[in-house]
Structure 1
Amino acid sequence: MIVKSVTFYIKSEYIKKFIEATLENQSNSIKEEGIKTFDFLQDSENESKFLLYEVYESENAMEEHLETEHFKKWINTVEGYFVSPRERNVYIPVSK
């Protein structure tokens, strides 16, 4: 299992477009075989801050997601909406 969290800060004039594009990407992403969870969240105190919380079956599934047509369409659409670079973190399970 691989967990990826990505935080975005979006220019205020693009918030609605970002939400629309990301909801479309989310609806396609959850259909992928290797994705267990794909949550899209907005900060309750800062409307321009968003989080993607993604759970993949494997690192390979995470890499395959980045090659899908819907991801490529999404990233090409939203890249200009960011106030700052995305904050990405990838987590792996801790086991004994």
Structure 2
Amino acid sequence: MLIVQVFVHVKPEFVDAFTAATLDNATHSVREPGIARFDVLQQQDDPTRFTLIEAYRTDDAPAAHKATAHYERWRDTVAPMMAEPRTNVKYVDIHFPE
């Protein structure tokens, strides 16, 4: 399993719009057969910072996810909302119950 943490810093005026777009993407993403989890977290002491935790069941699942209409819609919608480019860190699971 591949787990990806995506770190996003959003411009303050876009927090609500980013949250709505990201929840739409997450709701559709968890329906994909290759995705085990898609968590959306907002930093408690800085609401402009978000972490997405994406857990993929197969090596092909990330590419399949990026080819979906809901991901493309999210990517294009949130791009101008970001205060800086998003970053990510990839992990392998040691203990990750579904």
TM range (shorter): over 0.9
What are the equivalent positions in structure 2 for 1:1-96 lying under 5 Å apart?
1-93=1-93
Q: Which letter maps to 1:71?
A: Y
**Runs of 4+ deviating beyond 3 Å:** none
Alignment TM-score, normalising by the size of structure 2: 0.92
Distance, in Å, in 2 between the alignment partners of 1:58 and 1:4 is 13
> Identity of paired residues, percent?
33
Query: How big is the alpha-carbon RMSD for the aligned residues of Structure 1 and Structure 2?
Result: 0.9
Distance, in Å, in 1 between the alignment partners of 2:59 and 2:65 is 10
Alignment TM-score, normalising by the size of structure 1: 0.94
Count of aligned pairs: 94
User: Can you list the C-alpha shifts for 1:2-26, whole angstroms capped at 9, x where unaligned?
Assistant: 0000000000000000000000001
